[in-house]
Amino acid sequence: MEESKVVKVIRRYAALVVLILSFSLLMVGCSNKESPEPTAGTGETAPVTGGTSSQSQTGKLPARLTYLTLETGSTFNTMAVAQASLLSQKLGIQVAPEPTAGSQIQADLLRAGEGDLAIENAVDAYEMYKGTGPFSDKGPVPVLLALQGEEGFYSFVNYPGTGIKSLADLKGHKVLSRRAGIEWAGVISDELFKAVGLDPEKDVEQLLYESSAKAFQDVVMGKASAVWGGLLPEKLEDLGRSKGIYIIPIEQPVAVQVQKAVPAFHPTVLPRDFPGGPKGTPVLGDYTAVIARKDLGEDVVYQVVKTLIENREELVRARAVFAEWTAERAVSNPTLPFHPGAVKYFKEAGVWTDQLEQFQSQIK
């Protein structure tokens, strides 16, 4: 009898345990169905919009964005790596910088949907959008402007004591102005010489060069009288160690004429003393541009632009010029239309103007 009672008690406890386990499993199943995972970085749920083929299941942003840049070690690569790291950290997704051999490779990747963002100089961004220059064989690239950053400066340089102080003084001289792989460099130099009354084919002998360092050495050795290129202070200092360096001014009326032919360039002045050129020296300028695939989701681009602008101080450790990546700079002198996600942020930041709205509606 005692043994029978024990068996009954065991059976009752076993039934109770089974009931509790069944109830627990039922609750877990209901919980999994009713509670989607939160959006990365926000804790909120939302539909996925835009991005690459690898979409996140956690909210508005894709799981991965590909950020196209130039070869490892280049200035643009250094900048893109820093920006990609910041975006990954702040947005809770993977933003992967992908080095490439140049803007034409980037254009192909963007056309194929294998790139989402790309960092470019303003000329390449403009020509991609228009399908001109080196991109004319395959037509326009489906991209829009996300934002613009630091200003770049350009002119001819030589060294002091040559007697060449202006563009007009280059008449009858050899100049290194045709940059290998950069078609627009020759276009710019042609327009500069035309603007000062010189025939770019007859009055100046324009030569091809590959490396700015090698080109300036050719100038020092007397093989050419000046070289065209970007004015990076650290590089100018290195180039001028033997004989010094002199930046040939590009007066504003001349720069305005160039801008008509190549809208991505604009008249500007050196904002501070440079090796070979004091503050206020007139030169040509352009802006670094971040472009986005046209079909990338509006909220994706909005978050990218907002994050890069509002957290720019965290990037200054990588390059001091990130301090220039303000909302005001982002909308300065655009030459291609902005992505709707960028427009959304600029309106929110109070920098979107009637003039920009008119530009956005009229640009073709």
Which of the residues in the chain have pLDDT under 50?
1-11, 13-59
Which pLDDT belongs to residue 10? 41
Please give the model's pTM, rounded to 2 decimal places.
Answer: 0.78
- Answer whether 87's CB lies under 8 Å from 95's CB: yes
What is the 8-class DSSP label of residue 182?
Answer: B
In the chain, CATH 3.40.190.10 sits at 64-151+287-362, 153-286
Q: The CATH number of 153-286 is which of 1.20.120.1200, 3.40.710.10, 3.40.50.150, 3.40.190.10?
A: 3.40.190.10
Rounded CA-CA distance 113/358 in Å is 29
For 143, counting Cβ atoms within 10 Å of its Cβ (0-12 exposed, 13-18 middle, 19+ buried), the class is buried
Q: How is domain 64-151+287-362 classified at the architecture level of CATH?
A: 3-Layer(aba) Sandwich (3.40)
Collect all residues with Cβ–Cβ distance below 8 Å to 262 and sequence separation of at least 6: 123, 184, 187, 188, 191
Which pLDDT belongs to residue 48? 29
Rounded CA-CA distance 153/229 in Å is 9
Rounded CA-CA distance 5/33 in Å is 43
Which pLDDT belongs to residue 52? 44
Which pLDDT belongs to residue 4? 47
